[in-house]
Amino acid sequence: MSDIIHYPILTALFTLVSFVAMIWLIINARGVARLFAKRTNDLEPGPAPRGVTASARAVWIAIVLFVLGGFGAFLMLFLSGERQEIDAIDGRATLGAPYIPPAG
């Protein structure tokens, strides 16, 4: 398996991690609001049923996974694009050239 095969798989994996973390953060928006709520801003968690709140640790883990998943996906896209450009340049230089027999 060449390295070029791994880039789409890793990109999809990082994207999936980022999307799952984003969905979890949206579902647990009260926990995010509680984490960032201060007396000076307008962000305030709403009322929640008993026992349906996310811990601050879980919110931070989801935020870190969301950010790292996004950065990882962009990194894999960048690396795969760079590799494809190198392959395209190499292929373009040899495929269209006419055959010239060696002198001698």
In this prediction, residue 97 has a pLDDT band, given cuts at 50, 70 and 90, of low
What average pLDDT score do residues 2-22 get? 84
43 or 53, which is more confident?
53
When pLDDT is averaged across residues 38-60 and rounded to a whole number, the result is 74
Q: For position 94, what pLDDT does the model report?
A: 55
Total-model pTM: 0.67
What pLDDT, on the 0 to 100 scale, is given for residue 18?
96
Q: Which residues of 54-82 are buried (b: 16+ CB within 10 A; e: fewer)?
A: beeeebeebbebbeebbebbeebbebbee
DSSP 43-57: -------TT----HH
Please state, as a whole number, how many other Cβ atoms lie within 10 Å of the Cβ of residue 19.
Answer: 14
What Rg value do the Cα atoms of the chain yield, rounded? 24
Provide the CB-side half-sphere exposure for 25 (13 A, CA): 19
The CA distance from 13 to 20, in Å, is 11
In whole angstroms, give the CA distance from residue 57 to residue 62.
Answer: 9
Q: Are 53 and 31 a contacting pair, CB within 8 Å?
A: yes
Which has the minimum average pLDDT: 36-45, 47-56, 80-89? 80-89
Q: What is the pLDDT of residue 8?
A: 81
pLDDT of residue 5: 64
Cβ contact 21:63 at 8 Å: yes
Residue 84 has pLDDT above 50, yes or no: yes
